[in-house]
Chain A
Amino acid sequence: MSSAALSALAWIITGITPVWSGVEPSDRQRIYFANHSSHGDLILLNACLPARQRARTRAVAAADYWGKSRLRRFIAEDLLSSVLIEREATDPAAKPLDRLVEVLDAGDSLILFPEGTRNMTDEPLLRFRSGLYNLALARPDVELVPCWLENISRVLPKGHFLPVPLLCRAIFGPPISLQPGEERLDFLERARAALLSLRPQRRGDPR
């Protein structure tokens, strides 16, 4: 219910529209992996999923940001039912990957930002960290669905907290999966290329 209210707010500001191109919404267990440039990404991607799947999908969010204050924790955990994990695992016992595998084993889908941090560069997409590969290796049956979030970095640039209302789209592409014997770096590069290929080209964009 509360996540529906957050989705409605996201729609009012960004008119967020999902574009399913080469993939359809489905009850199958999935890992949605998306580009990350704003704290709004989580909310937008959540808003794009049909209600039934939204209830069964949990975003992976950084504990060092979303766990920092009670408000952030409320938004991330209570409204968006995110899984907060430590990005820089100082404590080896924390084992963030195990947490995520547990979530998958409970039958839920995941939203993952494989860049690991918000992209503040002029590059369209940073290098992927290993999390996506490790999850794909641990649970090979789960579909990996790329999702390009368009414009959200313009809505809420770094260092600002008031969003400019601009139209955003979330473009979902055909799922990929880990090939038998595929090397970690090869797979991560292929996943990154699959996500980049969804990016619409507009005149004047930096290539």
Chain B
Amino acid sequence: MIMREAVMLFLFLGGVLAIASLIAWALAARSSGAPSPTLVNLRQRINAWWVMVAVIGLAFLFGHGGTTVLFALISFAALREFVTLSHTRRSDHYVLLAMFLVVLPVQYWLVWTAWYGLFTIFIPVYCFLLMPAVTALQGDTERFLERVSAQQWAVMLAVYCVSHVPALMTLNVPGFEDRMLLLVAFLIVTVQGSDVLQYVFGKLFGRHRLAPSVSPSKTWEGLIGGVAAASLLGAALSFMTPFSPLQAAAIALMICLLGFLGGLVASAIKRDQGVKDWGHLIEGHGGMLDRADSLVFAAPIYFHIVRYYWTV
């Protein structure tokens, strides 16, 4: 069964992207000579968005299974980027392998089987204790705390937090039993929409830098304009959720602010490691984590709010 709301949402997204592509095309046609780097990047971003929306739409068509697999792959890409950037030593090999071959599959298996009790503690308790133990058993203490901390961060951000997106589908919201994908869509569209709107407002009106030493491109104008607009977008999307328009706006406001903080923390890590992007998987955007950092912070808290207030 294809949900009417989902079809409407994807038509809406397609329309927005079509307009964005037209604007970028018009900007390119108006500029004489070679287009500016910003414009080239803008067009790359829009093209990548077409692909991303198509991929998410395809996953949605395959229902809960497709969406779970998609986010497992997103976790894989994000984990790979995070570990690549962190300091590892030869003696970390078994722990690193286990992160990809055990931690990630087990966490998504817990999502798939809706084993909530273990899903919430598997990484923060069991992996938290066992991973450094394995590292210690290897007998290599050089920069030990730095190495185990980076491993913890990697699985927490890239696996644990991201897995809360498909975990939404395991919640039991009365009247939404077979439509939980719409709550996933609400999260993705508002948080990612907020990223895009912050970029747009920042480029158009950005004057006052917010955290110049962490992320020079973030401005107060971009943050306020983007998050406010995304909250309105959330209210407009309330028709496909169990939330009232006001509730939807409040939730959107909160997850967009969290998304902003996620981007800020990700920028701080990148700056500390001396890189600009996490990778180059998504042209114009950077790596998977450059695109997903906001979702990473927003997903767990959105999950728990829905679970606390809307499930039985």
Contacts and interface: CB of A to CB of B under 8 A. Distances in A.
Chain A at the B interface: mostly helix, strand, loop or mixed?
loop
A151 B84 contact: yes
Contacts, number: 33
Interface string A164-176: 1111000000000
A123 to B, nearest CB: 15
A164 B100 contact: yes
B93 A164 contact: yes
B164 interface: no
A16 to B, nearest CB: 11
A157 interface: yes
A-B pairs with the 6 shortest C-beta distances?
A167-B84, A164-B96, A166-B84, A157-B90, A203-B274, A165-B80
Report, as a range, how many residues of chain B touch the other chain: 10 to 19
Nearest to A162: B97
B93 A157 contact: yes
B83 interface: yes
Nearest to A167: B84
Interface string A10-49: 0000010100000000000000000000000000000000
Most chain B beta-carbon neighbours within 10 Å: one of A154, A158, A164: A164
Contacts of A151: 84
B166 interface: no
21 contacts: A15-B80, A15-B281, A17-B280, A151-B84, A157-B93, A160-B93, A162-B97, A164-B83, A164-B96, A164-B100, A165-B76, A165-B80, A165-B100, A166-B84, A167-B80, A167-B81, A167-B84, A167-B279, A202-B273, A203-B274, A204-B87
Most chain A beta-carbon neighbours within 10 Å: one of B84, B87, B273: B84
Interface string B243-283: 00000000000000000000000000000111000011100
Nearest to A168: B84
B193 to A, nearest CB: 28
Nearest to B96: A164
Interface of A: 15, 17, 151, 154, 157-158, 160, 162, 164-167, 202-204
B88 interface: yes
Nearest to A19: B280
A166 B83 contact: yes
A157 B94 CA distance: 11
Contacts of B100: 164-165
A204 B86 CA distance: 10
Contacts of A160: 93
Contacts of B93: 157, 160, 164
A203 B273 contact: yes
B107 to A, nearest CB: 16
A162 B100 CA distance: 11
Contacts of B96: 164
Contacts of B274: 202-203
